[in-house]
Amino acid sequence: MSPLHELGVAELGRAMATGQTCSVELVDHLLTRLETRQSLGAFLHVDADGARAAARAADARRAAGEAGPLLGVPLAHKDIFVTTDAPTTAGSKMLAGYRSPFDATVVARLKAAGTVSLGKLNCDEYAMGSANENSAWFPAHNPWDVARVPGGSSGGSAAAVAARLLPASTGTDTGGSIRQPASFTGISGIKPTYGVCSRYGMIAFASSLDQAGPLARSAEDCALLLSAMSGFDERDATSAQRPPQDFTAQMLQPRAGATAAKPLQGLRIGLPREFFPAGLSGDVAAAVRSALAELEKLGATLVDVSLPRTELSIPVYYIIAPAEASSNLSRYDGVKFGHRAARYTDLLDMYKKSRSEGFGAEVKRRIMIGTYVLSHGYYDAYYLQAQKLRRMIADDFQACFGQCDLIAGPVAPTVAWKIGEQGDDPVKAYLADIFTLPGSLAGLPGMSVPAGFGEQAMPVGLQLIGNYFDEGRLLHAAHALQLATDWHRRAPAGT
């Protein structure tokens, strides 16, 4: 058997089911690795005692005859999900030391499935960023090159999985924050259809966009985790009223007319011309084209399509998301919870100083933009127009799905950049989301699958986008690709 840290979720489940290892042994092994790799900056909090106790409980459940693919499997949660057994800061000084009286639904469901949490993972403050450089505490580093970013905002989640500190983690995706870090670190990550995973207990950035999802080594692992995470939650008004789904079964379901040699026979994959512009980095384009060629070998047919409003997704997103952030973050005023300034003269002064001290530069920037576009005289000119364009972007996708089953392209225009390289130009970082924002604005499911390597041997991800509630088809295509290639099995040097 391979070293324990090299095994994915499904492999670990099978190893524990056959008695080759146990949760306690696995947790001890990973905690030992964590001690020597703290400089990666992936973790904000490690709960060693709690993890060992949960591992013992999982082993006892197995000994009593209980079974389950996730029982005893270690993972960790993005620090945007509230938890009772670990502090939750959302990567912000505003929530330093905060402990929630309840678990987020995603956390509770994974805990019920028997997973063991090792702690909380680094992220951009309030999930606002594309590099994990906006964390109030310290940046996370890309294990393929520690001088580079791991992507954001779920950078700690991606870095921990890529560095083999964990087999899987949770993340959130507002404008690409699962898919982009998965691409930058050479792992798999899926953002399901908006509403598939409950947002209850997930600290809000932009309520009409935020969605939880898993990051793991493979599509099979993502399917196992998503099956446990998803499902209707009456405590979340935006939760889709759909019964629990077994995404693993959907992933393995053969297509009509498919064969073992061509498992994707009959699958039409659309290639939007706007996802392959002249400005796309050559190394990224080559890796994506190589992955598409593999999909063709598996029986898929490539179809040229168009998403004509792709370029508008950036201004639309950066009006709608900051507007919702301005509203959501207004609760952090220093009164009931969160940071309160030590010295102030009156209530208004307390508000000003508490928010000025507690929020970082990027959060303040987005609050100011959001407040502006929602203000009297500008709401109709900016916010209302952005919402109309959002509807048109969603309609463009539906027109494409009349010609194809899935849409494919790059996740980001380049591989991961150097830490600090875009610090003085936030707009440059915003532009890196050009290929992930359209699907987010439309509320569609999307995932990043390892597709090879670009310059300096940095990972490149292939983005697959499906129609609403078509996660099974997404995972099936990704799984077939991973059975035919080994990109997802490659690890950074020294892991």
Active site residue 177: yes
Q: How far is CA 67 from the centre of its chain?
A: 28
**Which whole-number Å values give the CA distances from 299 to 2, 389, 473, in the listed order?**
32, 35, 14
Task: Find the catalytic residue in 23, 78, 154, 230.
Answer: 78
The helix/strand/coil state of 289 is helix
Q: Where are the beta strands (DSSP E) in 16-58?
A: 43-46
Task: Considering only CA atoms, give the Rg of the chain.
Answer: 21
* 91 phi/psi in degrees, rounded to 5: 65, 25
Which structure tokens are listed for 114?
A: 């028997």
d(CA 455, CA 275): 20
d(CA 20, CA 445): 36
Half-sphere exposure of 430 (CA within 13 A, CB side): 18
* 402 phi/psi in degrees, rounded to 5: -75, -15
Considering only CA atoms, which of 120, 151, 117 is closest in space to residue 133? 151
Half-sphere exposure of 482 (CA within 13 A, CB side): 26
Contact 160, 142 (CB under 8 A): no
Query: What crossing angle do the helices spanning 282-297 and 471-484 adopt, rounded to 10°?
Result: 90
Considering only CA atoms, which of 426, 429, 325 is closest in space to residue 372? 325
Task: Find the catalytic residue in 92, 117, 130, 153.
Answer: 153
Active site residue 281: no
**Total residues belonging to the chain:** 495
Which structure tokens are listed for 322?
A: 């900051």
Active site residue 39: no
d(CA 310, CA 315): 10
The helix/strand/coil state of 1 is coil
Q: Where are the beta strands (DSSP E) in 196-240?
A: 211-216
Task: Find the catalytic residue in 100, 169, 177, 313.
Answer: 177
Task: State the burial class of residue 306 (Cβ atoms within 10 Å of its Cβ: 0-12, 13-18, 19+).
Answer: middle
Q: Indicate which residues carry an active-site annotation.
A: 78, 153, 177
